[in-house]
Chains A and B, each alone.
Chain A
């Protein structure tokens, strides 16, 4: 069974551009999470989608946005890129439901570099 897949693996952009990152959850998982991990730092929660709805978002500016598609895949968009947006962006999925406390399965991440 395929795990969580993310694309692209690496992405290089310049300041002011937009970046789009994609995530396909494990088959059957309806909940998708996005995290930002700057170099050497811990995971910072970005967004949580469940059954197509945004359930919660972290303390990030509105230029970080996303969506979840009917097939439960998800997309993270970062507009007006800034240098400090350079980070590893991790997607994770698990079985859905607002009260679900099941295991998160992570993808390998997308490394975004902003020059």
Chain B
């Protein structure tokens, strides 16, 4: 069964600190993995996309990694800011569609709170 599990469920950190969010998946056949940021009450916005051959990709203070062998991805946030407070969602695309989510399988997200 195609699944995406994210951890932790929620996280509180102080402004300026770093943090790492985890995403484990069992999606097959794998196409790509995206991290989205969702501010409260807003639509998600894509941060990075990882394909099978990519190990690391950065977008400003956000760095995503992918280990296709262990089917794990992480999102590292450096020098956190108050505006980083949001939910971070891991979305894995399968090469074929079907199942209860089509070919896009969403994790439940990690809710990050950055405190001053």
CB distance from B9 to the nearest CB of A (A): 10
CB <8 Å contact, A56 and B93: no
Contact of A33 among B31, B32, B89, B102 (CB under 8 A): B102
CB <8 Å contact, B32 and A59: no
B: residues with CB less than 8 A from A are 31-32, 34, 36, 41-46, 49, 89, 91, 93, 95-104, 106-109
A side interface size, CB within 8 A: 26
User: CB-CB < 8 A to A58: which residues of B?
Assistant: 100-101
A: residues with CB less than 8 A from B are 4, 33, 35, 41-43, 45, 48, 55-56, 58-59, 88, 90, 92, 98-99, 101, 103-109, 111
The closest CB in chain B to the CB of A59 belongs to: B100
User: CB-CB < 8 A to A43: which residues of B?
Assistant: 44, 89, 106
CB <8 Å contact, B42 and A109: yes
User: CB-CB < 8 A to B98: which residues of A?
Assistant: 56
CB <8 Å contact, A103 and B34: yes
